[in-house]
Structure 1
Amino acid sequence: MSDAITTAVAALNEKMSGEGFDGTAKFVIEDEGSIIINENGASASDADADVTMTASADVFQAILDGEENPVAAFMTGKLSVDGDMGLAMKLAGVLG
């Protein structure tokens, strides 16, 4: 597991205040790895999910830092979404 994934898992769990997520979402960080977010919080994993979001490490970090709006990243092609779009929007609300 890369340092970027380890750091991102910790940041996501902190951002979510230890609360889980109703559904299963996967972030694929290009050239780094994958993170699953579910009822147990965030963890490094490449398991199947209801929605998969893919972005570069820079875009993912900007979303975590609040510098990039996830919806705007999707609309401009910086973030791709495959699967349940409603769940992706719900996660954007949790992270925003």
Structure 2
Amino acid sequence: MDLQACTEAIRAKVGDDSGLNATLKFDCGDNGVVFVDAVTVPNSVSNENQEASCTITIALEDLAALLNGQLNPMNGFMMGKLKVSGDMSVAMRLQTVV
């Protein structure tokens, strides 16, 4: 799954009102970013590299596995496949969406 496919998958999961009420960025390094603005309704998902209240640093293939249900978010965190910086409570609320 490439970055655009991950972006579309996140957009579908977030929908118009995810209830996250925060900004979130998935940072896939050289492969790009997926930025989720869940403060405004409807929520928006883009590939703009903006400041976010929570940033999840993750390899693109691990993000794809997370979105496909092949990687449990908590296991990914414990195994070091994803790193969270900023507001950890946003990452915890994300589990209800992804």
Root-mean-square deviation (CA, aligned residues, Å) is 1.6
Identity in percent: 32
Contact 2:33-2:49 within 8 A present in 1 as well: yes
Q: Which ranges in structure 2 are unaligned for 5 or more consecutive residues?
A: none
- TM-score of the two chains, using structure 2 as the length reference: 0.85
Count residues in correspondence.
93
Cα separation, 2, equivalents of 1:11 and 1:18: 13
Contact 1:19-1:41 within 8 A present in 2 as well: no
What is the aligned partner in structure 2 of residue 14 from structure 1? 12
Cα separation, 1, equivalents of 2:27 and 2:95: 15
Larger RCO of the pair (alpha carbons < 8 Å, separation 6+): 2
Cα separation, 2, equivalents of 1:41 and 1:70: 22
Which aligned segments of 4 or more residues in structure 1 are displaced greater than 6 angstroms?
none
| 1:49 is aligned to 2:52 | yes
Q: Which ranges in structure 1 are unaligned for 5 or more consecutive residues?
A: none
- TM-score of the two chains, using structure 1 as the length reference: 0.87
Alpha-carbon deviations, 1:22-71, whole Å to 9, x = none? 10000001321011111223111110000100111111100000110111
Contact 2:3-2:60 within 8 A present in 1 as well: no
